[in-house]
Structure 1
Amino acid sequence: MKQLWLFNQINSDLQRVEKELHLFIETDFPVLEESAVHLLDAGGKRLRPAFALLAGKFYGYPFERLLPVAMALELIHMATLVHDDVVDASETRRGRPTVKAKWGNVVSIATGDYLLARSLELLAEIDDPEVSRILAEVSVEMSKGEIQQIKASFDVNQNLKQYYYRINRKTALLIEASCKLGAIVSDAPKRQIWALGRYGHDIGMAFQIVDDLLDVTAEAKQLGKPVGGDLQQGIMTLPMILAIERSPQKERLVYLLGKEDKSDQDIAEAIQMIKSSGAIEESLRYVDLYINKAKTYLLELPNVPTRKALADLAQFIRDRRF
């Protein structure tokens, strides 16, 4: 797990979440446990548990009630990652072989199902109908987003509305839920639950746009996976959509983006065309809109150090390079 200075208020508790997750995914089936542990040990910033814990910091911080929520959020996130790697045929994630690469599709799907089932057991332990309802609805919508992405592969005629539909379900809804659930189990006032949810949603939208930008601007070592993965898989992202509108070589770019069997040279050429079109800078303006809107929702919350931490976290997401 990558530790962020932004999580100084909760780093020790995130370590507890990490420890409990390792204990919780133990099973009598060695391959299943090995694959789940491999995924967990691949790290990540544990953003979703962190958002839930930080939301709880505003309202007395009942950590023992927040712990199963934080764990359930991360298990759901991990399940989506391992399923995504099967759909995308991904060989690496965060610089390590994926579960799919090490054990194949069957074990990968079983691992994702196992993690999702374990998250349901945690929800039963939480025993709060509102928490269960929110996570169930989010899980359904995330599935819809994944199906939409598969259906739209290599469709170069996608627009911003379709893109927002996908990234809302792919990323933003679970981060929104993380913030809301941390507040709900801490007995926050309804208006502030809403404000934290809106903050989480807009942070999630910005996070995914930045992720999509990194796919065409980062180095493979930074990214932890091959650059141009979205291009290779035919996933139309914001910089691609904007580049088609702006590029003086639109026909060539459309051809490259729609081509199903791209060479490394094709990907390099498409990336160069996206960069030269001004789409990167324009996409960052969209990111800034979401980040600034997210920060305005924080003004609804108590003026305590955690509020500044969430504002700093928003800026980190905007400026991140990995």
Structure 2
Amino acid sequence: MDARAHSSQEVLSTLQALVADDLRRVNQVIIDNMQSEVGLIPQLAGHIVSSGGKRLRPLLLLMSARLCGYQGRRHVPLAACVEFIHTATLLHDDVVDESALRRGKATANAVFGNKASVLVGDFLFSRAFQLMTRDGSLEVLQILSDASAVIAEGEVMQLLTSNDLETNEAAYLRVIESKTAKLFEAACRIGPVVADRPRSDVDALARYGMALGVIFQLTDDILDYSAEQAALGKTIGDDFREGKITLPVIVAYERGTEDERRFWSRTMEQLEQSDDDLDHAIGLMRRHDAFGETLRRAEAYGNTARQSLAGFDDGIERRTLDDLISFCIARGF
């Protein structure tokens, strides 16, 4: 394990350790609320919930509440709610994308079929809304229901921009702010809300969450073309094969020659791909510094995230959230 990987693992370990008791309670709430007399529901939901995710979104909610000095228990079921929304979107996304693998493991739709995955995704959305209403706060309900609507809009926007090389950076950023970063933002917003902190603190942590979510997706889009990921046995090139227009593609296309643009049109718009095309695409991205350009965007969002934390007391919570920015950026190297 290299120094970056070791450092990244330390960030996650510190984050998980700080909220360990709450995280155990969140996991219990998740297990309890996956139960159903319909046996396929807990079986399929358990498949994806236990598939190795970092629980990053619920961790952000727990950590933002801790940063704001919250001493109650409302944040625990709300963190589970955020994870259910995330899990439901993953189930639906994998069906839409016809994905067979996630984190190197078979997706739920590959194991159980598309119909079951969509319906259990609906069940998890419903469970999330049950948890929201039990909390009893209209403000929390509005935050999470608004986020759910925006996420759905983001997925539709991505569908419309797929296979369309006229997609520019601004349109791409609107997609990832909606489909990925909005739930990060909501998770970070709820912490200060339940802690009854001033609106300025709520808005600051919301900005932090939005910026962090954009960074996370930017680096995810780099990792889809990463040789290091391939060496770890993870699938690469899914975005390429599906014709998803991400920032590395946008940069390489905009900076490319006419011949290179014809290549991108054939492979991404017409989806006429041969075995060698992925390697050629990666070569073009490197030639035009598409990965470096994408990382520079991530670093700019990192500055926004750090500035958003500036008004909070210096301590282990704020330092860990600051380190998490570096962790998310370092994923792209």
TM-score by length of 2: 0.92
SS at match of 2:140: helix
Instruction: Tell me: CA distance 1:179–1:222, structure 2 relative to 1, closer, same or farther (3 Å).
Output: farther
Q: Deviations over 1:214-251 (max 9, x none)?
A: 11124455777521111111110001001112234333
1:124: Cα distance to partner? 1.1
One-letter code aligned to 2:26: V
What is the aligned counterpart of 1:194 among 203, 218, 241? Answer: 203
Q: Which moved more, 1:148-157 or 1:6-15?
A: 6-15
One-letter code aligned to 1:257: M
Q: Which moved more, 1:300-309 or 1:212-221?
A: 212-221
SS at match of 1:264: coil
What is the aligned counterpart of 1:80 among 73, 85, 89? Answer: 89
SS at match of 1:57: helix
Instruction: Tell me: CA distance 1:160–1:210, structure 2 relative to 1, closer, same or farther (3 Å).
Output: same
Residue 304 of structure 2 corresponds to 293
Query: For structure 1, which runs of at least 5 residues remain unmatched after alignment?
Result: none
What is the aligned counterpart of 1:247 among 247, 253, 256? Answer: 256
- Would you say 1:101 and 2:110 are equivalent positions? yes
The answer to whether the 8 Å contact 2:230/2:236 transfers is no
The answer to whether the 8 Å contact 1:239/1:283 transfers is yes
Q: Deviations over 1:151-204 (max 9, x none)?
A: 222111110111011001111111011000111011112111110000111111
What is the aligned counterpart of 2:286 among 275, 279, 302? Answer: 275
1:303: Cα distance to partner? 2.1
Alignment of 1:127-146 (within 5 A): 127-146=136-155
Determine the C-alpha separation between the residues in 2 that align with 1:25 and 1:321. Answer: 34
Residue 319 of structure 2 corresponds to 308
Q: Deviations over 1:63-116 (max 9, x none)?
A: 511101101000000000000000000001111111100011100001100100
Determine the C-alpha separation between the residues in 2 that align with 1:277 and 1:66. Answer: 45
Alignment of 1:1-322 (within 5 A): 4-7=12-15, 8-220=17-229, 225-248=234-257, 249-320=260-331
Q: What percentage of aligned pairs have identical amino acids?
A: 36
SS at match of 1:216: coil
Determine the C-alpha separation between the residues in 2 that align with 1:294 and 1:247. Answer: 32
Determine the C-alpha separation between the residues in 2 that align with 1:199 and 1:208. Answer: 14
Instruction: Tell me: CA distance 1:67–1:28, structure 2 relative to 1, closer, same or farther (3 Å).
Output: same
1:59: Cα distance to partner? 2.7
The answer to whether the 8 Å contact 1:52/1:183 transfers is no
Instruction: Tell me: CA distance 1:218–1:63, structure 2 relative to 1, closer, same or farther (3 Å).
Output: farther
Instruction: Tell me: CA distance 1:223–1:61, structure 2 relative to 1, closer, same or farther (3 Å).
Output: farther
SS at match of 2:99: coil
One-letter code aligned to 1:11: A
Q: Which moved more, 1:52-61 or 1:5-14?
A: 5-14
Q: Deviations over 1:238-286 (max 9, x none)?
A: 0100111223433333332223242332222212211221111111110
Query: For structure 2, which runs of at least 5 residues remain unmatched after alignment?
Result: 1-8
The answer to whether the 8 Å contact 2:109/2:117 transfers is yes
One-letter code aligned to 1:314: I
Determine the C-alpha separation between the residues in 2 that align with 1:111 and 1:299. Answer: 41
Q: Which moved more, 1:39-48 or 1:265-274?
A: 265-274
Q: Deviations over 1:39-76 (max 9, x none)?
A: 11102111111111111112333351110110100000
The answer to whether the 8 Å contact 2:295/2:332 transfers is no
Determine the C-alpha separation between the residues in 2 that align with 1:11 and 1:321. Answer: 27
Determine the C-alpha separation between the residues in 1 that align with 2:136 and 2:249. Answer: 44
Determine the C-alpha separation between the residues in 1 that align with 2:46 and 2:55. Answer: 15
Q: How many correspondences in the alignment? A: 321
Cα RMSD for the two superposed structures: 1.8
One-letter code aligned to 2:166: N
Q: Which moved more, 1:267-276 or 1:203-212?
A: 267-276
Determine the C-alpha separation between the residues in 1 that align with 2:255 and 2:57. Answer: 35
Determine the C-alpha separation between the residues in 2 that align with 1:105 and 1:225. Answer: 22
One-letter code aligned to 2:38: F
